[in-house]
Structure 1
Amino acid sequence: MQVTMWLTETMKRFPILILLSAILSAVGITSCKTTEENYRKAYETAVIQRQEATGIDSTIYGKIRNSANTSTLLVGGVELPMRSEYIGYDADGGSSRDKVKLYNIVVGQFRQIFNAKQMRQRLLDAGYDSAMVVHTREPLYYVITETSSTPAEALEAWRKVKSDKGLVIKSPLPFILRPAHFRN
């Protein structure tokens, strides 16, 4: 008898329960839209968790990244971002120890040399005759547009790169690369 009463009461409430669950589902679906910001936050969280789990900062690559000295170069009241790092030269990339000077304008950085060489070729075609590729110990390949001996020349080259609408450069580029193994 009690089971029959319970069933009767439940059957009376069943349409209300279905309606209520449909409303809650609709609200839940519309409020869970994914956005670019949500994706970015999730990606950044995953990267941090991966670094913590793998200990990338304790590897040789983490040590190399942390050894890069980031500072600014003050020229005529203008602050230019500068990075001091040990670099190597690639003959196929147009670089050599006698071509690279103290201040170098970096407009591209790549993990694969193929991409760096392609950018160098596009720069050569666009009139940047001094374009070259150098690499760090990681390796990370930097594409350089101009190389100069003085801060004033570096500022002039920097301004040329910044004003060139044909170059698509994303932050933190461009920056001044100062080879760490060069002496003043």
Structure 2
Amino acid sequence: MKKYTIICASLFLAVAFTSCGSSEKAYRKMYEKAQAAENKTATEQPTEEVAVVTPVVEKPANETVVVDNTDNVPVRQGKYSVISGAGLKSFSVVVGSFSVQANAEGMQGQLNNKGYAAQVAYDSATRMYRVVATTFDTKNEAVQSRNQLRSQYPDAWLLYNQQ
């Protein structure tokens, strides 16, 4: 029985020492390789990279301001085609936006009953139907009309139609 224990112990030790030796060699090779790479980068002259960062100015495409912005009133601009109504002048007051044409025409009917010459215009860029309550040639008239309409339509905004 003692012989069997001694043989098993010696076999275990032989396996343990041979397996550690091969791992140790692999670790030694990896260590030497890392040291060589570190020495190589230490001897090289570091090159400085200068990154130029330009600030990003986000402004929605249809939320641009018209050149005549001396009164600081924001105006959206775009190309709109009139679906129903007499036609848009340069500056218009938009009181509603809908993705469904029937909803826009319903609001147009309500505005017409109140005495406005409302129109429905289509914005192909956003695929929205805009309900225009009033339209003017000058911005000042449109701003005054928008301010009056905001009592009933608080989200009314100005539109500059690019013709």
TM over 0.5: yes
CA contact (8 A) 1:133 1:142 kept: yes
Higher gyration radius (CA): 2
What's the TM-score once normalised by structure 1's chain length?
Answer: 0.50
Please name the residue that 1:118 is paired with: 106
How much does 1:69 deviate? 3.7
Q: Alignment partner of 2:65: what SS?
A: strand
The one-letter amino acid of 1:113's match is Q
What is the Cα-based RMSD across aligned positions, in Å?
2.2
CA contact (8 A) 1:80 1:175 kept: no
Please name the residue that 1:68 is paired with: 62
5+ residue gaps, structure 2, are 1-59
Percentage identity across aligned positions? 25
Please name the residue that 2:160 is paired with: 178
What's the TM-score once normalised by structure 2's chain length?
Answer: 0.56
How much does 1:179 deviate? 1.4
5+ residue gaps, structure 1, are 1-65
Please name the residue that 1:25 is paired with: none
Moved over 6 A (4+): none
Please name the residue that 2:32 is paired with: none
- 1:84 and 2:66 matched: no
- 1:133 and 2:139 matched: no
Q: Could you list the per-position Cα deviations for residues 18-46 of structure 1 after superposition, in whole angstroms to 9, with x for gaps in the alignment?
A: xxxxxxxxxxxxxxxxxxxxxxxxxxxxx
How much does 1:127 deviate? 1.6
Report which stretch shifted further, 154-163 or 133-142. 154-163
Which structure features the higher share of helix residues?
Answer: 1
Please name the residue that 2:147 is paired with: 159
